[in-house]
């Protein structure tokens, strides 16, 4: 079996650099090749390959430059505890190829949902630790002639033909619940569906959820590391995938309950994210704002601190808005609304999030966002000082008075 579009000299050099040990192309590139799709890095748009080596990945990469054609540009950077190496190969008169070369490993989950314990392993071990059967197919490079051999120990080709996603074993989702978010990503991108046994796994895990569930007879909090991994998967879903399809599929499976029960019940997140996309707002905090407990969810997922502050301020805005009476709302002027809104923390970030989510007080919030916040005093601090005012707090107070006067002029138009 050949690998279309992959330069033969690159495959031959990689196979030779393996020095007799097994080296295989794995992951999305193999899946997409079998689906007759082109596989490229989503950020840079360059072709990329994931490879697993039964040996030291860095040593293989260090042998690679001498085996490539003269004039080839080859740069690499090692990262990760087990020597995964990112490589850029620029063949003469060809586009750059991105390679991720990893030493084969195996993993175990002593505590469900915690980060796994990883150790060196074989290619078979490495395939067995993957999320779905369609991602556990490998093309073994043959150092003899530069060809490849297909390895499919988990029957991924059958699932590709059936367009289904199947977890590799019965505890797969319990060990790593983020695999459900990856299932939603692949389902949206490829048009696949979870198979029946995998759906049963989803139901069983969700019955033991949310963030505190029982392991045996002892209550166990979900590990903090799981929150980080869930956030990372959400970021990939929102940044790289057709997020509306992915989140809809996740909701159909009941999987938004992994994040927050309110998100699972919500029918508003799609419109909120559509508005956020049009207004170029960060999607993740807007999605969190649709939850029952945005602040708690943001803390569990370890969102950036400033986004957590925005969500705290949004909750505060909602609480204060709920305390306003109808008379207070009807009698408030543009100047009064502006003063009320600008007393809230971070209004420049919080108000558009509230508008995206369709929060109450939509009309005054929208008018402030589109018009009132842009109203200026009509003079500057420098001009006030030039007119004889002394520097100090009085200058700022006068500027606020002048701005309020201009806002009151809007009431008469």
CA-closest candidate to residue 209, choices 272, 290, 300, 298: 300
What is the residue whose two structure tokens read 């556990």? 136
pLDDT at residue 210 tops 60: no
User: Residue 121: helix, strand or coil by DSSP?
Assistant: coil
Residue 85's SS3 state is strand
Mean pLDDT computed over 132-161: 88
**Are 182 and 233 in contact, with CB atoms under 8 Å apart?**
yes
- The residue among 228 and 1 whose pLDDT is bigger is 228
What one-character-per-residue DSSP string does 138-166 give? EEEE-TTTS-EEEE-TT-HHHHHHHTEE-
Mean pLDDT rounded to a whole number for the chain? 89
Highest mean pLDDT among 9-18, 101-110, 271-280, 404-413: 271-280
Q: Which residue has the higher pLDDT, 395 or 343?
A: 343
pLDDT band at residue 216, thresholds of 50, 70 and 90? very low
Torsion of CA 6, 12, 13, 19, to 10 degrees: 140
Mapped onto helix, strand or coil, the DSSP state of residue 75 is strand
Q: What's the CA angle centered on 261, arms 308 and 201, to 5 degrees?
A: 115
List, for residues 266-289, the tens digit of each pLDDT value.
999 999 999 999 999 999 999 999
Nearest to 20, CA basis, from 158, 113, 140: 140
Separation of alpha carbons 22 and 52, rounded Å:
8
Mean pLDDT over 224-245 rounds to 93
The values of phi and psi at residue 225, to 5°, are -60, -30
With tokens 């051999």, the residue in question is 149
Average pLDDT over residues 181-191: 95
Pair of tokens at residue 86: 């990112």
Go through the chain and tell me how many residues it has: 413
CA neighbours closer than 13 Å in the CB half-sphere of residue 103: 19
Distance CA 152, CA 379 (A): 73
Structure tokens, 240: 């790289």
pLDDT at position 326: 84
Residue 122, token pair as written in the block = 């074989």
When pLDDT is averaged across residues 81-99 and rounded to a whole number, the result is: 86
- Given a cut of 70, is residue 332 above it in pLDDT? yes
Average pLDDT over residues 288-302: 93
| Residue 220, pLDDT above cutoff 60 | no
Q: Identify the bridge partners of residue 107 per DSSP, sorted by sequence position.
A: 118
Q: What is the pLDDT of residues 376-412, one digit of tens each?
A: 887 888 887 888 888 888 878 888 887 888 888 776 5
Higher pLDDT, residue 410 or 56: 56
CB distance 398 to 384 below 8 Å = yes
Residue reference for tokens 């995938």: 241
Taken in order of first residue, the domains within the chain and their CATH numbers are 1-162 (3.30.460.10), 167-258 (1.10.110.30), 260-374 (no CATH), 376-413 (no CATH)
DSSP symbols for 246-275: HHHHHHHTTGGGGT-HHHHH-S-HHHHHHH
What is the reported pLDDT for 275?
97
pLDDT value at 236 more than 90: yes
> pLDDT tens-digit profile of 298-318?
998 999 999 999 999 999 999
CA–CA distances in Å: residue 404 to residues 224, 347, 393:
48, 18, 17
**pLDDT confidence band for 145 (50 / 70 / 90):** low
Q: Which of 41, 20, 208, 32 is nearest to 135 (CA)?
A: 32
User: 105-108 and 48-53: which strand pairing?
Assistant: unpaired
Percent of the chain with pLDDT over 90: 63
């Amino acid at each position: 079996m050949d690998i279309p579009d992959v330069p033969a000299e690159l495959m031959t050099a990689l196979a030779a650099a393996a020095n007799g040990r097994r080296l295989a192309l794995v992951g999305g590139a193999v899946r997409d090749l079998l689906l007759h799709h082109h596989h490229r890095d989503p950020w840079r748009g360059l072709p990329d390959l994931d490879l697993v080596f039964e040996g030291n990945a860095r040593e293989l990469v260090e042998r690679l430059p001498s085996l490539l054609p003269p004039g080839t540009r080859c740069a690499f950077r090692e990262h990760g505890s087990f020597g995964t190496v990112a490589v850029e190969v620029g063949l003469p008169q060809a586009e750059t190829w991105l390679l991720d070369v990893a030493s084969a490993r195996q993993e175990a989950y002593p505590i469900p949902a915690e980060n796994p314990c990883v150790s060196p392993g074989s290619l078979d071990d490495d395939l067995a630790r993957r999320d779905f059967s369609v991602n556990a197919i490998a093309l073994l490079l043959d150092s003899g002639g530069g060809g490849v051999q297909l390895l499919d120990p988990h029957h991924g080709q059958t699932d590709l033909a059936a367009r289904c996603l199947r977890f590799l074993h019965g505890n797969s989702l319990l060990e790593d619940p983020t695999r459900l978010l990856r299932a939603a990503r692949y389902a949206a991108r490829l048009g696949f569906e979870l198979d029946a046994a995998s759906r049963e796994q989803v139901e069983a895990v969700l019955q033991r959820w949310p963030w505190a569930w029982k392991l045996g007879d002892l209550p166990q909090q979900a590990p903090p590391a799981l929150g980080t991994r869930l956030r990372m998967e959400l970021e990939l879903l929102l940044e790289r995938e057709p997020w509306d399809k992915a989140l809809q599929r996740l909701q159909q499976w009941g999987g938004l309950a992994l994040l927050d029960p309110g998100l699972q019940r919500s029918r508003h997140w799609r419109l909120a994210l559509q508005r956020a996309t049009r207004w170029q707002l960060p999607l993740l905090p807007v999605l969190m704002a649709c939850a029952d407990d945005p602040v708690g969810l943001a803390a569990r997922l370890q969102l950036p601190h400033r986004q957590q502050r925005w969500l705290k301020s949004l909750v505060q805005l909602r609480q204060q808005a709920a305390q306003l009476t109808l008379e207070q709302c009807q009698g408030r002027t543009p100047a009064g609304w502006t003063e009320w809104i600008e007393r809230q923390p971070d209004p420049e970030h919080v108000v558009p999030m509230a508008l995206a989510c369709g929060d109450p007080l939509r009309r005054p919030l929208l008018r402030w966002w589109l018009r009132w916040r842009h109203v200026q005093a009509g003079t500057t601090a420098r001009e006030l000082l030039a007119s004889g005012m002394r520097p100090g707090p009085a200058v700022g107070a006068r500027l606020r008075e002048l701005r309020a006067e201009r806002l009151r002029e809007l009431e008469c138009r």
